Amino acid sequence: MLYAILCTDYPDSLERRKAARPAHLQRLDALQEEGRLVLAGPHPALDCEDPGEAGFTGSLIVAEFQSLEQAQSWADEDPYSHAGVYASVVVKPFRRVFPR
């Protein structure tokens, strides 16, 4: 089943995000290689591709997991969580309708 992992950043966490980014991307690469990643990316703090020093307000990951518990466990181990980037993480089941 698919799960949406909705993450909200702490204010002023851009430097911590930058430092933890390689490890964060490595985990996403692994999901992609397994064919389980649907999409992933950050929410820019400004309405543009590169918000610069304004940074990001959070992230969204949609991926396939065996269960909600497995998705939550995976999210709990995210390097951004351990680095103090994410203030909160919500994991929810997700039903893909489009694209078909």
76-85 residue pLDDT tens:
999 999 999 9
pLDDT of residue 98: 94
pLDDT of residue 58: 98
Count CA atoms within 13 Å of residue 68 on its CB side: 6
pLDDT of residue 6: 98
pLDDT of residue 18: 97
Residue spans of the chain under pLDDT 50:
none
pTM, 2 dp: 0.96
Residues in contact with 23: Cβ distance below 8 Å, sequence separation at least 6, in sequence order: 79
